[in-house]
A = this chain, B = another copy of it.
Amino acid sequence: MAGAGVISREREADATVAIGRLRDAFGDRVKTGATWREQHGHTTSYLASQPPDAVFAPKDVDEIRRAVVICAAERFPVIPFGGGTSLEGQLNAPRGGLSLDMSDMNRILAVNTDDLDCVVEPGVTRHQLNAHVRSSGLFFPIDPGADASLGGMASTRASGTNAVRYGTMKQNVLSMKVVLPNGELIQTAQRARKSSAGYDLTSLFVGAEGTLGVIAELSVRLYGLPEKIVSGTTYFPTLDATVRTVIETIQMGIPVARLELMDPLCMRAVNAYSGLALPEEPTLFVEFHGMPAGVDEQVSVFAELCAANGAAPFRSAARLEDRDRLWAARHNLYFAFPELRRDARGIPTDVCVPISRLAECVGVTEADIARSGLLAPIVGHVGDGNFHLMILVDPEDPEEMARAHGALERLNERAIRMGGTCTGEHGIGQGKRRFMAMEFGGALDLMKAIKATVDPATIMNPEKIL
Contacts and interface: CB of A to CB of B under 8 A. Distances in A.
Chain copies in complex: 2
A443 interface: yes
Contacts of A197: 421-423, 427-428, 432, 435-436, 439-440
Given A171-B171, A290-B294, A428-B198, A190 B420 contact: yes
Interface string A8-36: 00000000000000000000000000000
A416 interface: yes
Q: How large is the interface on A (under 10, 10 to 19, 20 to 34, 35 or more residues)?
A: 35 or more
A208 B289 CA distance: 36
Interface string A336-357: 0000000000000000111110
Interface of A: 112-117, 137, 156-159, 163, 167-168, 170-171, 180, 184-201, 203-204, 206-208, 212, 223-224, 226-227, 247, 250-255, 289-294, 296-298, 301, 352-356, 384-386, 416, 419-428, 432, 435-436, 439-444, 446-447, 449-450, 452-454, 465-466
A443 B297 contact: no
A423 B198 CA distance: 10
A206 B187 CA distance: 19
Contact of A189 (B115, B168, B421, B435): B421
Contact of A114 (B204, B247, B293): B247
Main secondary structure of the interface of A (DSSP, over half): loop
Given A197-B421, A208-B199, A439-B190, A294 B289 contact: no
B297 A355 contact: no
Given A116-B251, A137-B251, A196 B443 contact: no
Contacts of A195: 157, 352, 421, 423-424
B424 A201 contact: no
